[in-house]
Structure 1
Amino acid sequence: MTENNQQEHSESSKESTPVTPSNTSHPKKTLFSPTAGQKIDLSPSKNTLPYAAFGLSAIAIALSGWLYLQSMQSTVDNDISALKNAQSTLSSQLNSNNISATELNRLAEQIQGATQTNQSQNSQLLTRLSLQEEKLLILESKMSRLGNTTKEDWKLAEAEYLIRLANQRLLLESDNVGAATLLINADDILNELKDPLVFSTRKALAKDIQALKSISQFDLEGAYLKLNALYESVETLPQREPSKAWQSTSSEQNTLLQTGSKATNVDASQAVTTMLSSLWESLQSLVVINYNHKPIKALLPPAEYQTLVTGLQLQLDVAQVALIKGEPRIYQQTLSRVATAITEHFETQADSVVFFLGGLTALQQLNPSPELPLPRESLLAMRALMQEWDRRNTDVTTSPEPVVQETTTQEQPQNPSPQDEPKAEQGGGA
């Protein structure tokens, strides 16, 4: 823009400068004034005024144009700066709008979550209210039942309690005798009602009582005491010895030597023969032929023998615990281990060992936890009887109520209450 303005300024300056005509081409003309007698110069230099005015006007136009361009340029710069400012303000507004939009979205999510929690809380409150209403209805029904209970209702509740107690006795204590006694008492109570509704319940009770009585009796205390007696008799059992014949021959030799010194009339030949025969028998007793090809066990040293006795006593303790807790598998395993150890390390021909093994075999025949039938059928029949009994009682109590209400509603207009009489008197006085 500045270069163009300079060129235009130079061109206007060139046009504004007057051209001096040369003397050769334009000769001066002089005129003589007749009045004053002076000469009038008619040369072209006297006509440069229009040219100067034109040049000045051109310069003014150029200056005005340049000033206009400068003003336009300044306005454009101002407009650009204003646009930049507006753009920055718009961008800041957009950023603030974006921030506000995110905040609004976050607030909307929070509001939605709050509404969901409120809805869930309302649903929970509604469920609680429904449960409370159901509980209130149940309590009202129970109160009405308590208000209308009779002696037969109490007997029926007692019979149900006895049946439940019999189930608990079998589950917790495995006491079939006590459970059968409780069921018999419940059957006696139902028999006192003399009602045909109890027939099916008494039938189920009779079936459960018969099943409990068919179980063989099991004396837990007696079995425990027998195991304790075996525990104490382990220390007195004789250990197995390798040769009983050697002991018998040695004792015979001692007796012969004692009698030989006293009997002087016995012949020497007979004494020699008897000595040789006894020696031969003793040698035979020392030689044992094992036809089963099993190794012969020697006598245990005292320390190992004491360890064996302690181990057997420990196994009997485990059998006692398994008997009390009702663990048949552990009970049978421990008793079989004790029997195997007794037959291997103790003299099975001795009377004490024979009696010990006999008692152990008798205890092995016991079952610590026999299968006991649960009186479920009688309990289910009792619950059905209670429901039928309550239904019949509710039908009986609710049937006469509408008749009573109708009679009372019909009698109310005919017999005004004493509270209405003062009101009528007050209305008449007014």
Structure 2
Amino acid sequence: MVIILAIALAFVAWQGWQRFENQQQRLDEVAQQAEDSASQQTVNNLESRLDSGEAERDEALQSALSDLRSEFESYRSNVDETLGQVLDQLSQEQDTDEREWLHAEAAYLLRLANQRLQFEGDVEGAAALLRTADARLADADNPALIPVREAIANELAALDAVAQVDRTGLYLALNAQQERISELRLSQEIEERAVTSGIEEPPTGTFQRQLARFGEELKDLVVVRHHDEALEALITPEQESYLRQSLRLVLEQSQLALLNEEPELYEASIDQALQLLNDYYDTSREETQSVITRLQELQQAQVKPELPDISGSQQELARFIENRHETRDQSGGDA
């Protein structure tokens, strides 16, 4: 009975335990269902809130984007307008700078033309520079520059009127006369004086000292006497060589004076050569008279023509540039 009773109790306990587990399992399922239901509700609520927040955010974003587009369009319009004004101003300043460069270049060319004429006597070079400067002013296309261009035109006319000096031709003509003089005969009325030459060796030094020494030697070597009848020439070959060399040096001095544009020295040198020809050469011969005539013609040549003043255009342009700067400064101050 005890055993049977124990078995019955065990069976009853086991049955109770099974029912308890079943109830616990149901409670868990109910709790799980409730929890799942609550979670789903929470999720739904969250999704709903998220959807609502996203919609609000999208609306706010669209509104912000719309405002930004409006502001950007306004900003771009202002930038375009400002940029247009800046470009217009830069264009005007560029045009102004180009004209300023033309004025400065013309002023430099005019100054260079004056220097070329004053220091070098280059008439053609000065005229070419004036024409180039006038072309630059023409490119500036400013009616206020008419007085400057008028002054340039007058100066070009003055340069065209300057007599052209053929220095190369004159130099070669004097050289040709030297060759002819070397073949001329000395006068037969020259008589040797009983003196001994003091020159033991060819003279050295500057050209003027050589020429003066030759003159002194000639005075010591020869004397001119007039006779009714021609006398035999008694001058020695050494004395004749000194005489011809002296005349050659005189003509070379005239050539140097020609190249250096020294009209006084040029005329004086040729005059001295003529004096030597008349004093010591046979002037009765036709070839001697031909040389004398040609030297007299060369003596009348204009070695250094009178040059005009071409500084007027330079002064006019300087005044124009100065007035232009003063006007611009005043405009800037008023602004």
TM category (shorter chain) comes to 0.5 to 0.7
**Where does residue 250 of structure 2 map in the other structure?**
315
> 1:359-378 residue pairs with structure 2 within 5 A?
359-378=294-313
Deviations 1:77-124 (A, max 9, x none): xxxxxxxxxxxxxxxxxxxxxxxxxxxxxxxxxxxxxxxxxxxxxxxx
Distance 1:394 1:297, change over 3 A: farther
**Contact 1:240/1:299 (<8 A) preserved:** no
Q: CA separation in 2, counterparts of 1:189 and 1:176?
A: 20
**Deviation (angstroms), 1:315:** 0.6
Q: Quick one: distance in 2 between partners of 1:175 and 1:351?
A: 40
Matched to 2:113, the amino acid is A
**Residue 323 of structure 1: CA displacement?**
1.5
Are residues 182 and 321 of structure 1, via their aligned partners in 2, closer, same or farther at CA, if it must alter by over 3 Å?
Answer: same
Residue in structure 2 matched with residue 11 of structure 1 by the alignment: none
Is 1:222 paired with 2:169?
yes
| Match for residue 354 of structure 1 among 270, 273, 289 | 289
Listed as ranges, the matches of 1:323-402 within 5 Å are 323-394=258-329, 398=332, 402=335
Higher relative contact order (CA 8 A, sep 6+): 2
Instruction: Verify the 8 A CA contact 1:319 1:334 in the aligned structure 2.
Output: yes
**C-alpha RMSD of matched pairs (Å):** 2.9
**CA displacement at 1:392 relative to structure 2:** 4.2
Whole-Å Cα distance in 1 between the matches of residues 186 and 162 of structure 2? 41
Q: What residue is the counterpart of 1:306 in the other structure? A: 241
Q: Report whether the alignment pairs 1:288 with 2:228.
A: yes
Deviation of 1:304 after TM superposition, in Å, equals 1.9
Residue of structure 2 equivalent to 1:193: 140
The SS at the match of 2:110 is helix
- Measured in 1, the distance between the counterparts of 2:294 and 2:123 equals 26
Amino acid at match of 1:348: T
Q: Distance in 1 between matches of 2:131 and 2:282?
A: 52
The structure with the largest alpha-carbon Rg is 1
Equivalent residue in structure 2 for 1:175, among 118, 122, 130? 122
Matches within 5 A, 1:43-192: 149-192=96-139
Deviations 1:340-387 (A, max 9, x none): 211222223434323322321121012322221231211111101111
Identity score, percent: 31
> 1 CA distance for matches of 2:105 and 2:129?
11
Give the CA deviation at 1:182.
1.2
1:178 and 1:237 map into 2 onto residues whose CA distance is: 42
- TM-score (norm. length: structure 1): 0.44
> In the alignment, what sits opposite 1:30?
none
1:327 CA displacement: 1.8
1:37-84 per-residue CA deviation (whole Å, 9 max, x = no partner) reads: xxxxxxxxxxxxxxxxxxxxxxxxxxxxxxxxxxxxxxxxxxxxxxxx
Question: What 5-or-longer segments of structure 2 have no aligned partner?
Answer: 1-92, 190-226
Shift of 1:155: 1.4
| Counterparts in 2 of 1:149 and 1:336: CA distance versus 1, 3 Å | same
Specify the SS of the correspondent of 2:162.
coil
SS in 2 for 1:217: coil
> Take 1:392 and 1:297, find their aligned partners in 2: how far apart are those partners?
89
- Tell me which residue corresponds to 1:408: none
Give the secondary-structure state (helix, strand or coil) at the position aligned to 1:150.
Answer: helix
Aligned equivalents of 2:188, 2:293: Cα separation in 1:
22
